[in-house]
Amino acid sequence: MVKRIIIFLAALSAVAASLSGLADRASAGTAARVPQIVADMGAGWNLGNQLEANANGTPSETAWGQPVVTQALIDRVKASGFKTIRIPVSYLNDIGPGPDYTVNSAWLNRVQQVVDYAHNRGLYVIINMHGDGYKTVTGSWLICDSSDQAAVKARYQKAWQQIATRFQGYDQHLVMESMNEEFDGQYGRPTQPCYSNINAYNQIFVDTVRKTGGGNGSRWLLVPGWNTNVDYTTGDYGFTLPTDRYRSASIPSGEQRIMISVHYYDPWDFTGTESGAITQWGRAATNPSKRSTWGQEDYLDGQLKKTYDKFAAKGYPVVVGEYGAIDKSSFDPSNNRYRADFAHAVVATAKKYGAVAVYWDNGSNGQYGLGLFDRRSATVTHQGIIDAIMSGVR
- 365 within a domain of the structure (yes/no): yes
Encode pLDDT of 248-307 as tens digits: 999 999 899 999 999 999 999 999 999 999 999 999 999 999 999 999 999 999 999 999
Encode pLDDT of 63-87 as tens digits: 999 999 999 999 999 999 999 999 9
Q: How many domains does the chain have?
A: 1
- 106 within a domain of the structure (yes/no): yes
Contact 81, 390 (CB under 8 A): yes
What φ, ψ does residue 11 adopt, rounded to 5°?
-65, -45
- 312 within a domain of the structure (yes/no): yes
- 20 within a domain of the structure (yes/no): no
Identify the pLDDT of residue 24: 36
Q: In what helix (H) or strand (E) does residue 126 lie, and over which residues does it extend?
A: strand 124-127
State the pairing for strand pair 355-359/379-380.
unpaired
Which residue from 187, 346, 156, 181 is spatially nearest to 261, judged by alpha carbons? 181
- 3 within a domain of the structure (yes/no): no
Instruction: Tell me the whole-structure pTM to 2 decimals.
Output: 0.92
Identify the pLDDT of residue 208: 98
| pLDDT category of residue 98 using cuts at 50, 70 and 90 | very high
What φ, ψ does residue 339 adopt, rounded to 5°?
-60, -40
Using DSSP's 3-state secondary structure scheme, residue 223 falls into: strand
Identify the pLDDT of residue 34: 83
Question: In this model, does residue 45 exceed pLDDT 80?
Answer: yes
Tell me what the mean pLDDT of segment 166-182 comes to.
98
Encode pLDDT of 312-324 as tens digits: 999 999 999 999 9
Q: Which residue has the higher pLDDT, 4 or 71?
A: 71
- 27 within a domain of the structure (yes/no): no
CA distance 357 to 342: 12
- 5 within a domain of the structure (yes/no): no
Provide the residue range defining the domain that includes 314: 44-393
Q: Which of 181, 182, 255, 274 is catalytic?
A: 181
Contact 122, 83 (CB under 8 A): no
Q: What is the CATH number of the domain that holds 50?
A: 3.20.20.80
Contact 159, 255 (CB under 8 A): no
CA distance 218 to 249: 8
Q: Give me the amino acid identity at 210.
A: R
Tell me what the mean pLDDT of segment 357-369 comes to.
98
Strands (E), 4-110: 44-46, 54-55, 58-59, 84-87
The backbone region for 81, taken as left when phi is positive above 0, alpha when psi lies in -120 to 50, beta otherwise, is: left
Asked if 61 is an active-site residue, the reply is no
- 150 within a domain of the structure (yes/no): yes
